[in-house]
Chain A
Amino acid sequence: MKMVMTGNYASAYGAKVCRAEVISAYPITPQTSVVEKIASLVSSGEMKAQFVNVESEHSAMAALISASMTGARTYTATSSHGLLLMHELLIWAAGARTPIVMSNICRANGPPWSVWADHHDAMAQRDTGWMQVFCEGNQEVLDSIIMSYKLAERPDIRLPSMINEDAFILSHTVEPVDVPDMELVDEFLPSYNPRFKLDVDEPYGFGSLVMPDMYMEFRYKINEAMEAARQGWRDVEKDFEKTFGRNHGGLVEFYNCEDADAVLLIMGSVASTAKDVVDKLCSEGKKVGMARLRVYRPFPVEEIRKLAGMTNIIGICDHSYTFGHWGPMAQEVRGALYGIADQPVMKNYIIGLGGKDMTPEILEKIFLKTLALKDGADQEIEWIGVKGLGGW
């Protein structure tokens, strides 16, 4: 059924149509309306789930790890400092191979205190063993939850999945969203039934100490699953399209990239604005394109190499930063392209931190700057829009 809703409500309905059985969450701006909506769906009986109230995000994740180990389908949502507080247990969830699905409403970390969007919170979880998707719109927010469960619960994957949506730009902005029938979702997504469970009638101990002759082997198994998840995402999205009649562009969505002189690589909702700017510049005869990195973990190495074959210049727009060495996406893209023939010119832009607005005018300026880099980048990295830096 088509409804008009915010990204946060799309998250809540995503959990509902997937029949998440245990929800545990702690409220934080701008995530709050996800759990408020779920709480009201549970209390009205529309959603048959147990809602576990906890005193922190750390406890929320701990509760879900245990619930997931009993074989329950689990869901939570958080943001920024809440996600950072979960960090220890995110690593535990991946190591325990619990297919938890979580929405992270991407919000800047403090101080300086901020409630607005950037990707620093999500990027700081890169090495936890969670799959990570970044969404452009509210339909994708909902659909990515369905796809996430499908892949996360696959016996050879069994990894948790984080769906990232930008604070306010998606979380509090309404769009038409098709909420699929639960029967259709049931067809696509069988119930979760792990072989070994926390079960009082047949007790097992999980996550126990191992000696150094086994530890690395267990870590290798996580990595093997994450590598398999790359093809897994492609397959799941194809299946999804067969059932629901839409897709969201695979691991990397290419927008007018073929034979473009310059492409901006973007994550999250800024991609929508960038598409408009691409259309405008193309109508003026400039050959520009936009690629949207949708799945960040596992990292889409093949798609990035494919992009390098389509264009001569890539502007890598990080909605985040690693103090001391480029933005995280720039590091990974440059790593993936290291050593290939005909490497494109690359430049890293740091954009939109703490909700600094990414208007069509600013994006157009970045496109034009990037087009001008035919003979090599003027600098490796540029912070866009910082007052006092180069013309802003």
Chain B
Amino acid sequence: MTKEELKGVYKTYQDLPLTPITSVNSSSNRTGFWKTNKPVLDESKCIKCNICWKFCPDVAISMNDDEFPKFDLGHCKGCGICAHECPKDAITMVMEGDVA
């Protein structure tokens, strides 16, 4: 079985490898659709302290020097840890469908 075949069609158990193998890594495997609530930042409150970035269990927050945190909603699972840990209450969890 080659890497190409791993992507092939699965009809019978014989088509499967010995154990589940994925050739895509988790950055291209977008699981963000699982969430119910998403983080929304109020830039006027944020002091760019990096705390949300450190705590995010899904590595879904990126921060560059002197920039506000960016949320990768393709991977954010909506756990709300960033909002809970933010010392300035700059992050609000908002029901996904509710925000344009």
CA distance A221 to B25 in the complex (A): 25
Counting contact residues on chain A (CB < 8 A from B), the size range is 10 to 19
B13-21, B46-54, B76-84, B88-96 - the one binding chain A: B13-21
Would you call B20 and A210 a contact (CB within 8 A)? yes
Contact partners of B16 in chain A: CB under 8 A: 214, 217-218, 221
Looking at the assembled complex, report how far the CB atom of A366 sits from the nearest CB atom of chain B, in whole angstroms: 44
CA distance A95 to B19 in the complex (A): 7
CA distance A217 to B16 in the complex (A): 8
Contact partners of A97 in chain B: CB under 8 A: 18-19
Interface string of A38-65 (1 = CB under 8 A from B): 0000000000000000000000000000
Q: A214-B10, A220-B13 are in contact. Are A206 and B20 (CB under 8 A)?
A: yes
Looking at the assembled complex, report how far the CB atom of A245 sits from the nearest CB atom of chain B, in whole angstroms: 34
Would you call B1 and A207 a contact (CB within 8 A)? no
Would you call B18 and A205 a contact (CB within 8 A)? no
Interface string of B7-50 (1 = CB under 8 A from A): 00010110011111111111000000000000000000000000
For window 186-245 of chain A, which residues contact chain B by CB distance below 8 Å? 195-196, 203-210, 214, 217-218, 220-221
> B24: nearest residue on chain A (CB-CB)?
A205
Which listed residue, A209, A218, A220, touches B19 by the CB 8 Å rule?
A: A218
Contact partners of B25 in chain A: CB under 8 A: 203, 205
CA distance A218 to B23 in the complex (A): 18
Which listed residue, B1, B10, B18, B22, touches A208 by the CB 8 Å rule?
A: B22
Query: Count of chain B residues with Cβ under 8 Å from any Cβ of A?
Result: 15
Contact partners of B19 in chain A: CB under 8 A: 95-97, 206-207, 218
Looking at the assembled complex, report how far the CB atom of B61 sits from the nearest CB atom of chain A, in whole angstroms: 23
A158 at the interface (CB under 8 A from B): yes
Q: A217-B13, A218-B16 are in contact. Are A205 and B1 (CB under 8 A)?
A: no
Would you call A196 and B22 a contact (CB within 8 A)? no
Contact partners of A207 in chain B: CB under 8 A: 19-20
Which label, helix, strand, loop or mixed, suits the secondary structure of the A interface? loop
Contact partners of A208 in chain B: CB under 8 A: 20-22
> B13: nearest residue on chain A (CB-CB)?
A217
Contact partners of A203 in chain B: CB under 8 A: 25
Which listed residue, A195, A196, A209, A221, touches B13 by the CB 8 Å rule?
A: A221
Would you call B23 and A204 a contact (CB within 8 A)? yes
> A215: nearest residue on chain B (CB-CB)?
B20
Which listed residue, B10, B12, B13, B26, touches A205 by the CB 8 Å rule?
A: B26
CA distance A207 to B22 in the complex (A): 9
Interface string of A158-196 (1 = CB under 8 A from B): 100000000000000000000000000000000000011
Contact partners of B23 in chain A: CB under 8 A: 204-205
Residue of A158, A208, A214 with highest tally of chain B CB at under 10 A: A208
CA distance A189 to B46 in the complex (A): 62
Would you call B1 and A195 a contact (CB within 8 A)? yes
Would you call B21 and A204 a contact (CB within 8 A)? yes
> A205: nearest residue on chain B (CB-CB)?
B22
CA distance A231 to B17 in the complex (A): 22
Residue of B1, B13, B19 with highest tally of chain A CB at under 10 A: B19
> B1: nearest residue on chain A (CB-CB)?
A195
Q: A203-B25, A205-B25, A205-B26 are in contact. Are A218 and B20 (CB under 8 A)?
A: yes
Known pairs A203-B25, A208-B21, A214-B10 / 9 extra A-B pairs, C-beta < 8 Å? A196-B21, A204-B21, A204-B22, A204-B23, A205-B22, A209-B20, A217-B13, A218-B13, A221-B13
Which residue numbers of A lie inside 8 Å of B, CB to CB?
95-97, 158, 195-196, 203-210, 214, 217-218, 220-221
- Supply 18 A–B pairs (Cβ within 8 Å), ascending by A: A96-B19, A97-B18, A158-B18, A196-B17, A196-B21, A203-B25, A204-B21, A205-B24, A206-B22, A207-B19, A214-B16, A217-B13, A217-B16, A218-B13, A218-B16, A220-B13, A221-B13, A221-B18
Closest 5 CB pairs of A and B: A217-B13, A205-B22, A97-B18, A208-B20, A97-B19
